Structure 1
Amino acid sequence: MTKKTCIAMVPSSGLSHLIPQVEFAKQFLQQHNQFIVSFIIPTDGPLTPSMQQILNTLPPNIDFIILPQVKNLPQHSYEPATKMKLVAKYSVPFLQEAIKSLISKTHLVALISGVFSTDAHKVAKKFNLSSYLFYPSGAFTYSFFVTLPNLDDSVSSETEYLLEPAYETVIVPGSTITLTIEDIPDIIKSERSSILYKSFLDVCKKFSLFDGVIINTFTDLEPEVIRVLQENERESKKPCVYPVGPIIRNESNCEENINLMCLRWLENQQPSSVLFVCFGSGGTVSHEQLNELAFGLELSGKKFLWVVRVPNKVTNSAYFVGEKDDPLEYLPNGFLERTKENGLVVSSWAPQVEILGHGSIGGFLSHCGWSSILESVVNGVPMIVWPLFAEQKMNAKLLIDVLKVGVRVNVDDESGIVKREEVAKSVKRIMEGDESLEIRKRIKELSVGAAVATSEDGSSWKALSSLALKLHSF
């Protein structure tokens, strides 16, 4: 019996990394059904119910292998990026055994690694497999991170920090955006001698080792950056770049009763009248900031649908801390009663994909995670830009300075929070007036571009076909 041609995928740990890779696999197989895909999942504990549900509902041509749990991670691994990298690194022996098993059953041709699973590259090479990186964010941030090792080499050994004093600003190849130290992820602001910084730098160094990089973007969204990356590929034998996006979910992984509650409420609202407020699957704000956001939404007088989480001073705490308290208990006294005619407030989770696709939504207050950005672009929904952590401030610069499809909230210099007046002002800017109309026009154009890119013979469709042809040749 002829063995089926198989691709193995090793996602970085966590729901926000698993979802884009699963959606990519589905899209790839829909277009090229001669392949099968096997996910190999590194773990350091039991899978969350959400992850388990996603894996249990995979189509027949996608299966999965859960690797044994990694134990006794070092103390410094509590920073998210470092933890994900170490989980993947310590899973390499388990990964090798899983690859051996797949080779015995299938015609395994390639291994596709997540951003923090780059140690899987050496496993691919050991078994003479084609090796690819799946980059779930945009070409702009990829261009910065793949350049980071060169930037680091240019800084003198006496310099403690990357951007001070030798580099006060950085221009990303293929972009006119100038980044300051305020715009880059916190992990890069660590001392260059620190374990956190070195760990992330090692991830970025491995980017250039892959045969190709699959990026969740499309040509009309980031034309110049993609052009420069592809020129570099031709001129200096850099990895092939495949812009295959937008890859987004078709439906949310959310409880049915919450889905119905949100969508029924939206059905009773006017077209483009509601602001959706959500900080992604892991974003949180402090209690003080939660109150200011609440008062700002109330002050704006606009309709809103708000996903509230238990406040925390650590902006990505929802990734690691289960919510035992009721988030609604942290809202200002009387807020729910005062705003019951204008707003719907839900705890922790809501069906974001379905909400952004609803005709009543007129704006999205977002933390600027890339998946949320793409969902907003696909549905033509303008954004209020409120970045919290990781590469989100870089994404925010792209949205405001280049794409011009949103407005950005301003943080108060003294308190370090966004005041209620600023919240209300931003809501009104995105929901009414001439500025809103211009932003709405631009994001509608990008929405059309996204649809064209993924249609037959569109740029992303062709990129997937090119990748499939390469893989089929092995």
Structure 2
Amino acid sequence: MANFDVAMFPWFATGHIAPFIHVANELAVRGHRISILLPKKAQILLQHLNLHPNLITFHTITVPHVDGLPPGVETASDIHLSKTHLLAAAMDLTRPQVHDFLSAAKPQIVFYDFAHWVPDITAHIGAISVCYSVVSASSLAIALVPARNVPCDRTVTVEDIKDPPPGYPSSTVVLRGPEVRSLLFISLPFGDGITFYERTTTAMRNADVLSIRTCREVEGELCDYIASQYKKPLLLTGPVLSEPTDTTPLEVRWTEWLNRFKPGSVVFCAFGSQHILKKDQFQELLLGFESTDFPFLIALKPPVGCETVEEAFPVGFAERVKGRGIVYGGWVQQPLILNHPSVGCFVNHCGFGSMWEALLSKNQIVLVPHLGDQILNTKLLAKEIKVAVEVEKELESGWFSKESLRKAIKSVVDEDSEVGIMVRKNHAKWRDLLGKPGFISGYIDEFVKNLEESVLNKK
């Protein structure tokens, strides 16, 4: 069919915007034109992901001021999680800008995620609305799909989260006290007069088409469950990660440092762009890495109340790990670090992007989830397909000790460990499947074909 015009309006967070750009690249490869509506800061930060600037255009969205939001904030990475609801309110205030752009551009398809009001605009201009979820089907199924056949707009309760809803296919997702509490953020405000649960379910319920960044091999039953609950067409894009050609070489400082160590010996740790640890948690983490005796590279934001990571170091830590460990407080090229031969273990929060990057890498996987969707992703990797180990946490505090972190890392890195042998074997099987030539591109081909049919049927 003829090429078509697409617009995208993702939530103002790096972990959401990047997957949208990856999908845009795949659409551009097939000749379609894409406009992505983003704040200026996000454009600057992520412009390197745009592999087809002749077909993919960034359109600037001005983020309005909201009381309580620090001046200049444009993305979720700029603020603590406790203020994210204010950024959601600011995003909703961009509705007139989005309306004006879409009305003038008249795309055939509009992708969105948290902007639940986009379908109101697409209905007016005759475009197809696609709610594209960049979190796992597991998260959507247990936390966002209505339980016990109740209406979509009912708020989820603790009991709903404890007990998977009828028809939910997983029997291994058992959540404990702190994990249940971490999921209750979905009932908290996320914007002005709307909860996270209401926002997400409304976005899905009002869309013409649902789409999830996952594949049937990993979450097929969960996808079927979601489609049956919302009674919408559900299209899967597969993992949709950066192509190896879209990145610049790894920074020299990291290459030179990693090259000093033997293959597979370095433990790399990163917890995404948003989560900020408390100082005592941060210090416990560092002491846990120190106790492993392995070389390590940690990329985390400074903890709460600290300007730099260095000022939060435990006493004597820097001297004790000199030459063996680095703690860095800025952004790093995570995919390139994971692919460096010296890196052999990846300790991460199991955000959905990191989950796919970990699965497709050759590294052992250790998981330290913090939020609801990360906990569910962790259950999927550690309990369902058994390719990773989750760090044990204290039941009441929900945090881990340096001993439990050390134990988890040792269990996957030590060559003679039974756990390590098992997860290595399972991981190799899944990596071979996901990395098989044509696997990811096959999902994209089918996805684009279904989108094209949707456009034809709309005419």
**TM-score tier after normalising by the smaller chain length:** 0.7 to 0.9
Instruction: Tell me by how many angstroms 1:144 deviates.
Output: 2.7
The equivalent residue for 1:242 is: 235
**2:345 is the alignment partner of 1:363:** yes
Alignment of 1:117-132 (within 5 A): 117-132=115-130
From 407, 412, 419, the equivalent of 1:435 is: 419
Q: Is the 8 A contact 1:309 1:348 kept in 2?
A: yes
**2:159 is the alignment partner of 1:177:** no
The equivalent residue for 1:336 is: 318
Partners of 2:309 and 2:260 in 1: CA distance: 25
SS at match of 1:283: coil
Q: Is the 8 A contact 1:11 1:113 kept in 2?
A: yes
Instruction: Tell me by how many angstroms 1:112 deviates.
Output: 0.8
Instruction: Tell me by how many angstroms 1:211 deviates.
Output: 1.8
Partners of 1:203 and 1:153 in 2: CA distance: 14
Instruction: Tell me by how many angstroms 1:175 deviates.
Output: 2.3
The equivalent residue for 2:55 is: 61
From 90, 96, 102, the equivalent of 2:93 is: 90
Task: Show structure 2 runs of 5+ residues with no match.
Answer: 70-78
Alignment of 1:71-82 (within 5 A): 71-72=65-66, 79=82, 82=85
171-180 vs 92-101, which moves further: 171-180
**2:283 is the alignment partner of 1:301:** no
Amino acid at match of 2:93: Y
The equivalent residue for 2:336 is: 354
Query: How big is the alpha-carbon RMSD for the aligned residues of Structure 1 and Structure 2?
Result: 3.4
**2:33 is the alignment partner of 1:36:** yes
Q: Is the 8 A contact 1:191 1:197 kept in 2?
A: no
Q: Is the 8 A contact 2:146 2:156 kept in 1?
A: no
Q: Is the 8 A contact 1:293 1:420 kept in 2?
A: yes
Return closer, same or farther for 1:249/1:218 CA change in 2, 3 Å cut-off: same
Cα distance per residue 1:311-357 (max 9 Å; x no partner): 128xxxxxxxxx8x221231123322322343233232221010112
Task: Show structure 1 runs of 5+ residues with no match.
Answer: 314-322
Return closer, same or farther for 1:415/1:241 CA change in 2, 3 Å cut-off: closer
**2:215 is the alignment partner of 1:218:** yes
Return closer, same or farther for 1:245/1:163 CA change in 2, 3 Å cut-off: same
Q: Is the 8 A contact 1:146 1:208 kept in 2?
A: no
Instruction: Tell me by how many angstroms 1:92 deviates.
Output: 1.7
Partners of 1:347 and 1:253 in 2: CA distance: 24
Partners of 2:149 and 2:86 in 1: CA distance: 24
Partners of 1:270 and 1:330 in 2: CA distance: 29
The equivalent residue for 1:100 is: 103
Q: Is the 8 A contact 1:187 1:200 kept in 2?
A: no
Amino acid at match of 2:413: M
The equivalent residue for 1:205 is: 201
Instruction: Tell me by how many angstroms 1:467 deviates.
Output: 2.5
Partners of 1:454 and 1:467 in 2: CA distance: 19
Partners of 2:245 and 2:182 in 1: CA distance: 30
TM-score (norm 1): 0.82
Return closer, same or farther for 1:208/1:95 CA change in 2, 3 Å cut-off: same
Partners of 1:460 and 1:53 in 2: CA distance: 22
Partners of 2:132 and 2:152 in 1: CA distance: 28
Return closer, same or farther for 1:130/1:53 CA change in 2, 3 Å cut-off: closer
Q: Is the 8 A contact 1:174 1:226 kept in 2?
A: no
The equivalent residue for 2:76 is: none
The equivalent residue for 2:72 is: none
Return closer, same or farther for 1:351/1:298 CA change in 2, 3 Å cut-off: same
Alignment of 1:22-33 (within 5 A): 22-30=21-29, 32-33=30-31
Alignment of 1:147-158 (within 5 A): 147-148=145-146, 153=151
Instruction: Tell me by how many angstroms 1:378 deviates.
Output: 1.4
